[in-house]
Structure 1
Amino acid sequence: MRERIIKAAVACDYAGLQKLGDEKGPSVRFSYDPDQDMATTWRIQEEWKDSPQPVLARLVQVLNLPFYQEGNLYWWPTAFREGATEADFALLKGIYPDSMITDMRKEKSYIGMRVGISVDGDWQAAIQGD
């Protein structure tokens, strides 16, 4: 599933990402508008005139970082786990501004894109923020 998400995101295939998210039922939790599907929300964020957000690029970057397992879910990145180390936060360089990484380190709380995929390949989460 991870590889399929990366492939769709690199191709900016919003419909393909939505299909992957709904492959085993409409189960992907994502940030922002609960009344709008994930693909539409991400397209709008990417195309914001005043402040476009690199949602798909960050999705790919995060999925290329190390993961950890919690219960039946694999989570990316390791900076999201409890007890994340300085090394976990260092891996975020180039994905987020240095000032944001510094703040996350200080607060010991990762608030960036985090992705969860179940051990049986069901994409469960793509959450940004708190």
Structure 2
Amino acid sequence: MRERIIKAAVACDYAGLQKLGDEKGPSVRFSYDPDQDMATTWRIQEEWKDSPQPVLARLVHVLNLPFYQEGNLYWWPTAFREGATDADFDLLKGIYPEAMIADMRKEKSYIGMRVGISVDGDWQAAIQGD
């Protein structure tokens, strides 16, 4: 599933990402508008006139970082886990601004894109923010 998400995100295939998210039922938890599907929300964020957000690029970057397992979910990145180390936060360089990484490290709270995929390959979460 991880590789399929990356492939669809690199291709900017919003419909493909939505299909992957709904593959085993509409289960992906994601940030923002609960009345709008994930693909539409991400397309809008990517195309914001005043402040476009690189949602798909961050999704790809995060899924190329190390992961950890919690229960039956694999989570990316390791900076999201309890007790994240400075090394975990260092891996975020180039994905988020240095000031944002410094704040997350100081607060010991990762608020960037985090992705959860179950051990059986069900994409469960793609959440940004706190």
Q: Same fold (TM over 0.5)?
A: yes
Q: TM-score, normalization: structure 1?
A: 1.00
Deviation at 1:36?
0.1
Alignment length (residue pairs): 130
Deviation at 1:21?
0.0
Partner residue, 2:8: 8
Once residues 105 and 45 of structure 1 are traced to their aligned partners in structure 2, the CA distance between those partners, rounded to angstroms, is 25
Partner residue, 1:86: 86
The secondary structure found in structure 2 opposite 1:20 is helix
Deviation at 1:23?
0.0
Deviation at 1:19?
0.1
Deviation at 1:115?
0.0
Q: How large is the Cα RMSD of the aligned pairs?
A: 0.1
Deviation at 1:63?
0.1
Once residues 94 and 13 of structure 1 are traced to their aligned partners in structure 2, the CA distance between those partners, rounded to angstroms, is 23
Once residues 105 and 2 of structure 2 are traced to their aligned partners in structure 1, the CA distance between those partners, rounded to angstroms, is 26
Deviation at 1:44?
0.1
Give deviations 1:92-125, integer Å, cap 9, x for gaps.
0000000000000000000000000000000000
Once residues 52 and 105 of structure 2 are traced to their aligned partners in structure 1, the CA distance between those partners, rounded to angstroms, is 25
Deviation at 1:87?
0.2
Partner residue, 1:76: 76
Once residues 105 and 117 of structure 1 are traced to their aligned partners in structure 2, the CA distance between those partners, rounded to angstroms, is 24
The secondary structure found in structure 2 opposite 1:60 is helix
Deviation at 1:60?
0.1
Runs of 4+ in 1 over 6 A off after TM superposition: none
Gaps of 5+ in 2: none
Partner residue, 1:124: 124
The secondary structure found in structure 2 opposite 1:25 is coil
Give deviations 1:11-55, integer Å, cap 9, x for gaps.
000000000000000000000000000000000000000000000
What's the % identity of the aligned pairs?
Answer: 95
Once residues 92 and 40 of structure 1 are traced to their aligned partners in structure 2, the CA distance between those partners, rounded to angstroms, is 26
Once residues 110 and 42 of structure 1 are traced to their aligned partners in structure 2, the CA distance between those partners, rounded to angstroms, is 20
Once residues 84 and 107 of structure 1 are traced to their aligned partners in structure 2, the CA distance between those partners, rounded to angstroms, is 11
The secondary structure found in structure 1 opposite 2:116 is strand
